[in-house]
Structures are given as C-alpha cells and as structure tokens.
Amino acid sequence: MGGKLYATGTGEMLDLLGVVADAGNPLLYVVGRMLDWGNAPVLLAVAEYGTKFVAVAGLLNVIAAVDAHSLANGRKVGL
C-alpha cells in the first residue's frame, strides 16, 4: 500500500511509538528495511491507511506477547 516504516533517531516521541509498532511485525519490518520500502514520503491517503494498518497490527502483537508473558508468570489468571 506504499506506507511508511518508522526509523529511530528522529527525536519525535510518536516516531518512537511507530518504531515499537513496526517491531511488533519483525518479519515485515526486516524485509521492508532490506528492500528499502517505506522511506518515501507518504503522498496518498491509501499509503496512510497502510501505515496505520501495519502499526496497529504490530501494537496488537506486542500486547498479545505481554499478555502471554503475564499469563506464563502467573501475574494474570486466564479464563
């Protein structure tokens, strides 16, 4: 969809959240960085949808990993 991959070192707090979101999709992030995808400025609304879709998917993966870790350590009781 032509979305953006976030990079570290920009100094922006929301870009740091974007890096965490992208890290939640490690395979997509590594392949995107290797093929140099996501570096162009976002010019289309569809590309912005792609950026948000990948970011939300990554954050949901991070939340699921934290939840699984809490269940494994016994800090949270499952249903």
pLDDT of the residue at 40: 73
Instruction: Identify which has the larger pLDDT, 32 or 78.
Output: 32
Per domain, the residue ranges of the chain are 13-73
Q: Tens digits of per-residue pLDDT, 9-59?
A: 878 888 888 888 888 988 888 888 888 887 777 677 766 788 888 889 999
Tokens linked to 38: 């996501």
Determine the Cα–Cα distance for residues 63 and 59; give it in Å rounded to an integer.
Answer: 6
Tokens encoding 47: 């590309």
| Amino acid identity at 47 | A
Give the model's pLDDT for residue 79: 66
Distance in angstroms between the alpha carbons of the first and the last residue of the chain: 38
Letter string b/e over residues 66-78, b meaning 16 or more CB atoms within 10 A of that residue's CB: eeeeeeeeeeeee
pLDDT at 50: 80
